Structure 1
Amino acid sequence: MVVRIYQLKDRQTFDRLVYQQLLEEGDILLAADLLASRDVVIGPGGDASLNMPLEAEATFVAVVGLFRHPDTQRNTWKQVLAREELDPDKPRIFTAEHNQLRLRPEAAK
């Protein structure tokens, strides 16, 4: 499965897009806010780390799980994190299973 990571200046456009739009033309539709994107391939029940340099202008990181059968009712195929929720020394981990993308809780500080 592919997990797509977007670094964004603003999240409003991302929040309005549906699964099929992001799958087929996400980079084009997000162009005004998109600073960087990256695809990570993970195995079934695997996880992905948000371990990439954050662009200076990025205020949000959006993560999309490109599932075969995404839950488009509950939108469990995507997550958005504000810059303040990220620590450059502690990459956040996402798990992908049962057509859901979940953020693993941060370890206690």
Structure 2
Amino acid sequence: MSTDDPVARHRARLAAGVRVAKRVGYGALLLAIVAFVAGAASGFPRALVAVCIAGLVASCVILPVPIVMGYGIRAAERAERDQTRERAERDQQRERAERDQQRERAERDQQRERAERDDAR
């Protein structure tokens, strides 16, 4: 990714935000799991049940957006890589075709020169 590309810079900023949001969302889920295990071990006191529910709700609210955006960012990067590779392949094919044409022209010119020399004899 070029730092001169504004789209790549924007995508990188979004990716950083997605990473932070995923950490927060999965952290809330981990908190809910820990609160549930602690609550199960201690007879489910109200405070641990409230923490468990709050963690689950927070993770359900936070996680969907960064998960979907993460997929979108990866898809955009993959599409950009594919386009770059296809462009490079097209350029290589074009260069190969130009070299072949030059070679064919040179062969035709040589044949023409040989024919002219043979005619001159």
Judge same fold: TM > 0.5, yes or no: no
Q: What TM-score does the superposition give when structure 1 sets the normalisation length?
A: 0.18
> Which fold has the larger relative contact order, with Cα–Cα distance below 8 Å and residues 6 or more apart in sequence?
1
Q: TM-score, normalised by structure 2?
A: 0.16
Larger radius of gyration: 2
Larger strand share, 1 or 2: 1
